[in-house]
Chain A
Amino acid sequence: MKEIKDILDPENIKSFVPGNYRWFDVLYVSGQSTPISFKNNRLHSINQSQSSGIGVRINRDGKTGFSYTNNLQHVKETFIRAYEISRYCEEEGFDLPGDTKVLFEPFNPEIDNFDPLMEIEQAREFIASMEKDFNDISIDIGINAAKGFVHLVNSNGLSLSYRDSYYSASISTTLILDKGVRLDLWDSKSELRPVRWDELRLKLTDKIKRAITIEKISSGLYPVIFPPQAFGSLLGIVLSGLNGVAIWKGISPFCGKIGEKLFANRLTVYDDPFIEGSPFQIPFDAEGLSVSRKKLINEGVVERFITDLKYGERLGVGSTGNASRGYSSIPSPSFNGIVVEPGDEPFESLIKGIKRGIIAEQFIGLGQSNTLLGDFSANLDLAYLVEDGEIKGRVKDCMISGNIIDLLKGEFYLSSDRERKGSSLLTYAMFPAINIVA
């Protein structure tokens, strides 16, 4: 069996294509990871994972076929399948890039310092300390360190690669309170290298303590604050309309409205592949194009949607460098990272201004409504009642509903403080009146 670097050699790889072609590209990805899992307060398993795979696109007579394999002894067969399939596919006129530069790698060599025994110790300390505060708490922890390698080769002479590193800790806690009331909380952290995550304990402890008392509310309109993660989920409903696929299919509420002011002034959102410290940064997109930071919404004006080469061609705007794919799927447009421009006031002062309102942290069933129109309706899995600027306790058994596109047109406030959640850098958001059914 040949080594992968020999297989991917630009001269060698041409020999796999079974006939005439206009272009081809090959994506190879590989990775190793060491996930450790704690279940119900105890170490459950220590894992190791090795994976690799290759995806091939071949454009023959203008039509692009695709195939993949993770059996690296069958690369030639994969080329043949892609070639055969191409005859059934659509005409595509775009060409592949030829001269992209790799300016950085989302890789930190400290990932090699990952020590499973030290991580297990950190998790045990975390659990012991939580158990001291809360009897009967059940805690699951997942810790993972991974290293990957991405290599893209195409028939235009492009041969690009980068290494990536990823460390994450995710924690979920469950407490069953009086009368079967369930309190589930979770939080996570993802970085380029192993880090301590003690601060998650303070955040979770604080949230649990505030949720022990249950407050009753009646149906009506309330001011609502969405913390960064929750705001990110709602903003995701809006941003899905800025995907080139939705625009092309005519199912986006922003069709024909690029350049129009559809939101309030204070909303500015970027697509950003370079969020500092994020393990989700990328030096080029999945088709080998350069990536850049760009405004999606600028002071309420919808500036652009995102595309890959295919949808960029169909929509006549070219690729925005937003192709995303694993080895086993064809590219499609996807945000590289979402950044929300901060507001003026910190979260602490937003909450101080609330006479009687809600902080909505976690939902059950968000995104099951007709999200194409911006509608949402969800049960409040975790929410707090705020009175005179102070958190009073938890509210439950109620539903929140509204239309996020309409809400962002009207009056709202964004916090000056931001948090990175996965590949997004998000603010708190406060809306003066949202419908709650209790």
Chain B
Amino acid sequence: MSQLEEIASGLSLLLQNLKCDFAEIRLTQGVGQSISLAMDQVDSISSGEVVGGSVRVLKNGSWGFVTFNDLSNIESFVKSAMDCASLSPSGKSGVAKYSASVKNFSTPFVEDLKSISFEEKFEIISKYNDIIKNSPKIQTTKSIYRESTGKYIYLNSEGTQLSYDRMHCGISLTAVAKDGTIIQPFHDSISGYGGFEIVRHREAMAERVIKIAIDMLEAEPLAGGVYNIIADPRLSGVFIHEAFGHLSEADFVYENESMRKQMVLGREFALPDFTVVDDGGIESLSGYIPFDDEGIAPQKTYLIKNGILTGRLHSRETAFKMNEETTGNGRAIGVMRQPIVRMTNTYIENGPYQKDDLFAAMDDGIYALDVIGGQTNLEMFTFTAGYGYRVKNGKLGKMFRDVVLSGNVFTTLKNISMIANDRQMFGGLGGCGKGGQSPLPVSYGGPHVFIKDVLIGGKQ
């Protein structure tokens, strides 16, 4: 029995005997390591250990939540959480019930991170860093390897007792190219649950990062205006995560009458070829969870099916409030934060077209690839594509940088006119941010999509 399991034993019974509506304890213990290189130098190496826990209690409609890193007297924190929940007992919160389960999970892996020496980890990230730094016009690099392993225990007053031995690693590669006064960064990253196999054989990723950074030195900013665009799988994935996925998170909807009207199930949002899914159960992807941070199993949720709004993502609280089924989307970035409604692995399902059909349909427009960032306020969105090409009569032309796309979410969904059948999934070392909780590991993806009339910022 591990130290954490020893601490946890007996707490389940304590929770079940509490006089409250619902209570849970989350505990974690883990170690992390990171190596960051910049050109010829080691930027930083860090290795550390983190323990932590929290107690959350719902009593008379109010939550008490207590967090700590002293695991020696958890009973006292349970009492504090009861006191917090009792302080102002007039809340209207509740939770959807879920059947109790007792299960242990562990990350499947090929090469155990614990069996790989520090030297080998250092060597592999140095190899990728060398590929980037030995290229001409490279001003600087940032090459990061990061791993974490640890145990997570979840207990609640329904009798659920879950544990998860998790192993996660990834790399992030950045090249900054420079020519005269032009400085052009480009970046890519990959991560996932599994062993060292995730980061092996990523030379092509390093090559791609340099090539695009250097190519972009020559690219000009795109003039502002309204364009037809083809989004590549990365951009279509980020679009669906940012612009639509967040809108499907029920905490944005459940107590807001106008939002409920707008997000009414059965409403037509897009053409019939268009389907959007969130699925936390896909083991290899960054957004995988064996159970969410409220003890609920992940599931495949259709958000849009054949163009029609068919589902949304729930925490226990929002499912209770809206009287809908739980979906396993109550997530937190760590045990010291409260679970809120979050996505997992979110994607646009394949459509009926070949990628080439989309280009054949484009007389004049922009092929927008990759993504630097994206943000939404649930009505309007802004995304910066990594780069783009002019498309004339179906043929690729000049390369452009600074392709900043913006628009209204609902109009843009309606303007998606063709969906290809080449879906890919992505998820790097970063993640999603919401409610001050960032980064939460997620993945996103989609096929190539054709979108009409997208506003692009820039000089005219």
Contact = CB atoms under 8 A, between A and B. Distances in A.
Interface of A: 1, 39-53, 55, 65-72, 74, 77-78, 81, 85, 88-90, 116-117, 120, 136, 138, 174, 176, 180-182, 184, 219, 249-251, 253, 328-330, 363-365, 367-370, 372-373, 375, 377-379, 381, 396-397, 399-401, 435, 437
A49 B47 contact: no
B67 A50 contact: yes
Contact of B460 (A181, A219, A379): A219
Interface stretch (B86-94, B195-203, B292-300): B86-94
B20 interface: no
A53 B69 contact: yes
B457 A377 contact: yes
* Most chain A C-beta atoms within 10 Å of own C-beta, residue among B48, B63, B87: B48
B46 A68 contact: yes
A136 B256 contact: yes
A53 B85 CA distance: 27
Contacts of B164: none
29 contacts: A39-B255, A41-B255, A42-B91, A44-B63, A45-B63, A45-B65, A46-B64, A46-B85, A47-B64, A47-B67, A48-B81, A50-B69, A71-B49, A85-B47, A89-B45, A116-B88, A117-B88, A180-B379, A182-B377, A251-B178, A363-B382, A367-B373, A368-B372, A368-B375, A370-B185, A377-B458, A397-B455, A399-B457, A437-B455
Interface of B: 29, 35, 38-39, 41-42, 44-52, 62-70, 72, 80-81, 84-85, 87-88, 90-93, 118, 122, 139-140, 176, 178, 181-185, 221, 224-225, 251, 254-259, 262, 336, 338, 372-384, 401-402, 404, 406-408, 410, 455-460
A48 B178 contact: no
Given A48-B66, A369-B402, A401-B404, A71 B51 contact: yes
A368 B382 contact: yes
Contacts of B65: 45-48
A69 B48 contact: yes
Please list the 4 inter-chain residue pairs (A to B) with the smallest Cβ-Cβ separation, ordered nearest first. A365-B382, A399-B457, A176-B258, A45-B63
A437 B457 contact: yes
B459 A435 contact: yes
B256 A40 contact: yes
A53 B390 CA distance: 52
Given A49-B66, A369-B402, 8 more contacts: A43-B91, A45-B338, A46-B85, A46-B87, A51-B69, A88-B118, A120-B88, A369-B384
Contact of A401 (B80, B257, B458): B458
Given A52-B69, A71-B69, A437-B224, A401 B92 contact: no
A49 B336 contact: yes
A70 B67 contact: no
A77 B42 CA distance: 23
A118 to B, nearest CB: 11
B361 to A, nearest CB: 26
Contacts of A180: 258, 262, 379, 410
Contacts of A435: 224, 458-460
A39 B52 CA distance: 26
A46 B84 contact: yes
A66 B67 CA distance: 26
A51 B66 contact: no
Contact of B255 (A40, A51, A396): A40
A90 B41 contact: yes
Given A181-B379, A251-B140, A44 B93 contact: yes
Contact of A50 (B68, B91, B92, B338): B68
